[in-house]
Amino acid sequence: MSATPLKAEATTVIDPEIHLRIEDFLTCYAHVLDDGTIDEWPGFFAEDAIYQITTRENCEAGYPIGVLYCEGRGMITDRVKALKTANIFEGHTYCHILGRPSVRQERLGVVAVRSNFSVFRTMEDGKAELFATGKYLDRIDLRDEQPRFLERRVILDSRRIDVLLVLPL
């Protein structure tokens, strides 16, 4: 869980089909969150995956946890259950705008991916605002037919976080 930014090395050449597969995977992930089909969200993660939301400031200071930390698909699934049964919050939707991912081979069948994002949030009353910006640092397992996150680290640009961070980014 290093805070070292991903950099595509000049010698790293990723097959265009693999790059497209990753882009499709990341787009499908965003659509699940944007369309409110949150029950599908845990399926994007490997059984022992890590999902973390932190700030750039925490990342640079080396603080290990930050805003949210889920270890394993079980914790990720519990997060969805809590959203649906225990948490009370004003209804809202997200709209993810994703930057083109930078991809490098980590090892056979596993890639490291960095992509930037902006998330707009629209409340039930129609008020829309820029909610979050930052970058995703991912490790994705491509060995099966369905790609899965081994690790998804959401690094927020700002340490100012709305108390309504209930849905995953």
**What CATH number did the domain enclosing 110 receive?**
3.10.450.50
**pTM of the predicted model over 0.75:** yes
Whether the CB-CB separation of 81 and 73 falls below 8 Å is answered with no
Classify residue 77: in a domain, yes or no: yes
Q: How far apart are the C-alpha atoms of 75 and 91, rounded to whole Å?
A: 23
Per residue in 16-58, pLDDT (tens digit) is: 999 999 999 999 999 999 999 999 999 999 999 999 999 999 9
* Residue 83 pLDDT level (bands cut at 50, 70, 90): confident
DSSP H or E segment with residue 112: strand 110-123
pLDDT at residue 165, as a whole number? 64
Q: What is the pLDDT of residues 97-128, one digit of tens each?
A: 999 999 999 999 999 999 999 999 999 999 99
Residue 49 in domain: yes
The percentage of the chain sitting over the pLDDT mark of 70, rounded to a whole number, equals 89
pLDDT, residue 128, reads 96
Reply yes or no on whether the pLDDT at 1 is more than 50. Answer: no
Domain that holds residue 24: 16-156
Residue 169 lies in a domain: no
Domain count, the chain: 1
Q: Per the domain annotation, does 52 fall within a domain?
A: yes
Query: Is 163 within the bounds of a domain?
Result: no
> Is 55 a domain residue?
yes
Q: What is the pLDDT of residue 8?
A: 45
The answer to whether residue 162 sits within a structural domain is: no
Closest CA to 151 of 141, 139, 136, 169: 139
For residue 126, is it within any domain?
A: yes
| pLDDT reading at 91 higher than 90 | no
